[in-house]
A and B are shown apart, each in its own frame.
Chain A
Amino acid sequence: MISLSAELRLTPALADLARVYPWLDEVASSVPPAILARMHVALEEAVANAALHGFPAGQEGEITVRLRRHDDTMVLEIEDDGVPFDPTEAELRAHAKNLDDVEPGGWGLGLIRAFTASVAYERRDGRNHLSLGFSLPG
């Protein structure tokens, strides 16, 4: 059974997004630093995506972040009531080899995929649900 450890509710406003990192520091304080650092990055990317893509033109709404723990897995859930947006749909691009070729963008999804053990998206009950799984040392 996956237990809910903590929950944080935000609006999509930029100032509110800044509440996420102290929250994760507090609720995931037992996680080894290198893994916690990766959780911070993946969470920042996911929340920023939800805020930027789910609520165009300053539309109001709610983003909820939850941390769940089960044995050696931690799951961050990012739920929002914005427009349907599946951040996992974008194609991953191969790394550009030089500055001439690079098109900035796409690194957010790349970081989420690289830093998580699992990523799952679902649109359910009019909300976007993104789950990011992280493996903890056994």
Chain B
Amino acid sequence: MPMTVLDLDNNVTKVVITGRIDIAGAQEIDLPLSVVGGSRAAVVIDLAEVSFMASMGLRSLVMCAKSIQRKGGKVGMFGARPEVEDVIRTMGIDELIPLLPSETDAIAMVVAA
């Protein structure tokens, strides 16, 4: 499964994405990500197991984040491998969805008032 959703304390939702998020991978996570985007308000996205990310994956993440923010929620990412972080920062996606150094930092960010 390329994506799992976990409920943490304080109404925080953790999304764990796994594997290659290429054109096929992005298609697989698009719908579940949009469901999370439409229904949760404090979301952390764990990218540690993502081995590849390109524009389609960025699109899925951004669409999800837009939905969350539209309802006043917060979303943060963490755990990106160097090659995935390279893609995220090169396209400035970290300016839209914060990329935090750790899960703890991401959770702290999304629960902060």
Contact = CB atoms under 8 A, between A and B. Distances in A.
Interface residues of A, number: 30
Interface string A82-111: 000000000000011111101011011011
Contacts of B52: 21, 40-41, 44
Contacts of B95: 95-97
Nearest to B92: A95
Nearest to A18: B24
Interface in B17-76: 20, 22-24, 52-56, 58-59, 62-63, 65-66, 69
A104 B78 CA distance: 21
Query: Is chain B's binding surface mostly helix, strand, loop or mixed?
Result: helix
Interface residues of B, number: 27
A48 B65 contact: no
B109 to A, nearest CB: 15
A107 B83 contact: no
Contacts of B92: 95-96
B22 A44 contact: yes
Interface of B: 20, 22-24, 52-56, 58-59, 62-63, 65-66, 69, 82-83, 86-87, 90-93, 95-97
Given A14-B24, A108-B55, 7 more contacts: A34-B83, A37-B82, A41-B87, A95-B92, A99-B62, A108-B56, A110-B90
Nearest 10 pairs between A and B by C-beta? Answer: A95-B92, A37-B83, A107-B55, A108-B55, A104-B59, A48-B23, A99-B69, A44-B54, A107-B91, A114-B90
